[in-house]
Chains A and B, each alone.
Chain A
Amino acid sequence: MSEEKNPRKGPRSKRVLNGYRVRLRNSLEFKADAYQNRSRENQMRGLKRTTNTLDEAEYYSGGLRSGDGVAGVFTDGFWNNNPVLFNALGISIILGAADSVKKAFAVSVIVLIVLTAAELVTSLFCRNAEAPSRMTAYVLTSALTILLIGGFMAYRMPSLLASLGIYLPLIAVTGLVTVRCESFAAYNKPVFALADAVGNSLGFAVVCIAIALVREFFGTGMVFSMGRPNSFPAANYPFFSFILIGLLTAGAQYSRALKMRRKSSAKEVSNNG
């Protein structure tokens, strides 16, 4: 809060970040009474930060959770602030393309390449650019990367390309690329942008492959060509994936709350001691 009062303190990069933070806090209506009440109740129950709606403002501001440095940025993207589980990014790709483990793996690799290219370009060339030109830069970068990947796949693995269908080009504008570039890479150095890209794509890959495993098992009865063929077509419908992602998110949120509680109780013990 003290940062809000004195946005002119600190080096230039921090000042820019603070200004952005203040603007975002004003723009996001995170002061809604309902959320405040709920978070107060949760605090009374010993849980902190259980609603993502509140976290969104902090998330956009680029504040780190897992400590400073490259490793902190990486852990943040990979698990502590997982793009799918805590921020609902890249859901359409998971819904469309993650119905078998092979496709999920391919999509994850493509996301890694595209996100790395887009974040690096944004961080290297567009840190001082205006919003429209910055957006154009990273959308076109990811589009170009996808064009190259599509060309390569058409030459080497045409069947996989055909099975990905419309979801390969959609990676270029998925929230995973646009939000990460807009909220992180546009305000940070290339090294951090690289760590963020790798961490986020690995975090995406873990969730994507986990969902693909369940969907493939229920949809075909076989995983990695093992098991008995058995069909439950509901697994290929979007509602199955939505509910699955919801349950995974609830689990992740529960584990995060547990971790927070453990941390705060450890702090209390050390304060009392």
Chain B
Amino acid sequence: MDNIGTYLTLAITVIFAENLFFSRGLGSDVIIRVMARPRDFVKFGIILTVMTVISSILGWVIDSVALALELPQVSGRYTGRAIAYLVCIVILYLTVSGILSRYASHFYREIAKVLPIAVFNTAVLGAPLLLSRLRPTLLTGLTGSDFLGAIIFGLSVGIGFLFALVLMSEGLRQFDAMELPAAFSGLPVRFIYIGLLALAFSGIAGRQAIS
């Protein structure tokens, strides 16, 4: 019960203040693509959330193993670990798509269009990388194991992306109804809208543009 406050702070920080999309641009490649397809983005967001939770858990396990074995850091601080996470994600993807296509082919056909882009993107790989970076600072208030913290981190990252998708899909709907200059219609207006949202989010995080 002591940890509830810490978990809540972690969740709010990750969803709003340090939203991975607005504060680091992770996953922007796929999000900018998916936001134009309102039918797909809920499916995409849910799969992405599941994947960030799984990848955070995987990252936590790999980090713990690396800490326990005291592995030497061969190639940079993050590269080796990131490749380990990525290999795990690939194995997971192959297993899941194999099982689904064999035993639940109808469901698989429904999600087949969004599954690959929801699995192989910078958000799913970025979540465990940032978790291992934040682990010493964000999760210090915890008295017990920080495994639950990792799960909550992954969940909040996914919810943060879903939140960003909803915000941007709504914005795009508004832009469709507007008369925009031809040069700005399409991608440019999306980028500028995301930039303004990111500016607002950096305000929530308490950053100052001029110091």
Q: Which residues of A contact B (CB under 8 A)?
A: 27-29, 34-35, 38, 42, 45, 47, 50-53, 56, 85-86, 88-92, 94-96, 131-133, 135-136, 139-140, 143-144, 146-147, 150-151, 153-154, 158, 161-162, 165-166, 168-170, 172-176, 178-179, 182, 231-234, 237-243, 245-247, 249-251, 253-254, 257
Number of interface residues of B (CB under 8 A): 66
CB atoms of A239 and B202 under 8 A apart: yes
* Interface residue from A52, A168, A239 paired with B187 (Cβ < 8 Å): A52
* Interface residue from B28, B39, B76, B122 paired with A173 (Cβ < 8 Å): B122
CB atoms of A151 and B75 under 8 A apart: yes
CB atoms of B186 and A174 under 8 A apart: no
Q: How far is the CB of B173 from chain A (nearest CB, A)?
A: 9
- Decide yes or no whether B25 CB sits under 8 A from chain A: yes
* Interface residue from B33, B83, B183, B198 paired with A237 (Cβ < 8 Å): B198
CB atoms of B79 and A90 under 8 A apart: no
Q: How far is the CB of B115 from chain A (nearest CB, A)?
A: 9
Contacts of B202 in A (CB 8 A): 237-239
Chain B: which residue is nearest A177 at the CB level?
B120
A29 to B39, CA, bound (A): 9
Task: Known contacts A135-B116, A232-B210; decide if A166 and B93 are in contact (CB<8 Å).
Answer: no
| 18 A-B contact pairs sorted by A residue (CB < 8 Å) | A45-B182, A50-B183, A88-B190, A91-B25, A92-B27, A92-B29, A139-B90, A140-B90, A151-B79, A166-B126, A166-B130, A170-B122, A170-B125, A172-B82, A239-B198, A242-B195, A253-B183, A254-B182
Q: Is the contact region of chain B dominated by helix, strand, or loop, or is it mixed?
A: helix
CB atoms of B189 and A169 under 8 A apart: no
A241 to B24, CA, bound (A): 11
A162-B76, A173-B125 given; 8 more Cβ-contact pairs under 8 Å? A38-B185, A88-B32, A89-B29, A144-B83, A169-B78, A239-B198, A239-B199, A247-B192
Of residues 23 to 46 in B, which have CB atoms within 8 Å of A's CB atoms? 23-30, 32-33, 36-37, 39
Q: How far is the CB of B39 from chain A (nearest CB, A)?
A: 7
A234 to B93, CA, bound (A): 39
A-B pairs with lowest CB-CB distance, top 3: A175-B29, A169-B82, A246-B191
CB atoms of B125 and A172 under 8 A apart: yes
